[in-house]
């Protein structure tokens, strides 16, 4: 199981794009558990959003490449 956490803010076009991509990905990969967290409601000290974490490790800020994300997820799941 891989845990994908995305930190976002309201009214952020890039955040919305990243969330949509992650939701589509998690629908195709049942071993991915997706959580979306608004940075304003979080205790995180992040200042850049969207921030994408896989299993508590920073994967990227901003948009991501689906193929790279899938590669990381499948490596960590094996």
- Domain layout of the chain by residue ranges: 2-77
The band of 1, judged by pLDDT with boundaries at 50, 70 and 90, is: confident
Percent helix, strand, coil in the chain (nearest 5)? 40, 30, 30
4 pLDDT above the threshold of 90 = yes
Mean pLDDT of all residues in 8-15: 96
Give 6's strand partners: 36, 52
The predicted pLDDT at position 77 comes to: 65
The predicted pLDDT at position 19 comes to: 97
Q: Tell me whether residue 60 is exposed, middle or buried, using C-beta atoms within 10 angstroms of its C-beta: 0 to 12, 13 to 18, 19 or more.
A: middle
Condensed to tens digits (0 to 9), the pLDDT of residues 19-73 reads: 999 999 999 998 899 999 999 998 888 889 999 999 999 999 999 999 999 999 8
In CATH, which superfamily holds the domain spanning 2-77?
Glutaredoxin (3.40.30.10)
Distance of CA 36 to the CA centre of its chain: 7
Using an 8 Å Cβ cutoff, are 36 and 6 in contact?
A: yes
């Amino acid at each position: 199981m891989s845990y994908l956490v995305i930190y976002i803010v309201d009214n952020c076009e890039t955040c919305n794009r990243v969330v949509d991509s992650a939701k589509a990905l998690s629908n195709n990969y049942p071993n991915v558990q997706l959580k979306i967290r608004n940075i304003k409601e979080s205790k995180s000290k992040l200042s850049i959003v969207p921030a994408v974490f896989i299993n508590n490790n920073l994967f990227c800020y901003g948009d991501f490449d689906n193929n790279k994300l899938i590669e990381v997820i499948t490596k960590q799941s094996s």
